[in-house]
Structure formats: C-alpha cells, structure tokens
Amino acid sequence: MQVGDISLVDYIGISPNKHATYVPHTAGRYSVKRFRKAQCPIVERLTNSLMMHGRNNGKKLMAVRIVKHAMEIIHLLTDQNPIQVIVDAIINRYTSKKSLCFY
C-alpha cells in the first residue's frame, strides 16, 4: 500500500509491521498522548468514526460489520485492495482541506 501524499504519510497508519490488524477492534489507548492517534490503524479509525452521533454511540460490532461489508463490496466492484481505496479517498479529501482532523 502506498500513500501518495507526502504530508499524510505520518498520519495514516498502514505500515504492515506496526499496523497489521485483521479485526479493527484493538482496544488500544491511542488518545492518551498527543499525536498517538496517528499510530492507530486506518481501518480502526474509520470504524471508530462510524460510532458517532448518539444513536450509534458504543456500537462497535455494528461498525466493524459495516466496514467489513463495505470493504467486500469495494473489492468485488474494483478488484483492488480496499485499504488502498480508503487511503486514496482520504488523500483526495484532505488535499482540498489542507488539514488532517480525521474523526
């Protein structure tokens, strides 16, 4: 997997040795220190961002299932690595914003 934007390399966690997780449910404490959220795997950050707005609060298994099905659909439609598609989408979104505040 490649990150096309040099400015986002440090903030998108996709390295295979450190961020290799099979299930985006690591229960890691990524918000204890400043900028540690950048070490969280990108798929888990996407899963956690689905658990916002009252009615979805705390439903991590539902969010994991949604991300899993979405990745399967992406793989079937594009025949590409779904994580690479997610990384490219994040790069496209943040090149217009010029700031990284991935919730």
pLDDT of 100 reads 54
Q: For residues 4-26, b (16+ Cβ closer than 10 Å) or e, as one string?
A: eeeebeebbbbeeeebeeeebee
Residue 13 β-bridge partners: 41
pLDDT digits (tens, 9 = 90+) for 12-69: 777 666 656 667 777 778 888 888 888 888 888 889 889 988 888 889 999 999 999 9
0.85 exceeded by the pTM? no
Distance, CA of 96 to CA of 45 (rounded, Å): 20
In Å, what is the CA distance from 38 to each residue of 5, 25, 41, 68, 88? 15, 16, 8, 22, 17
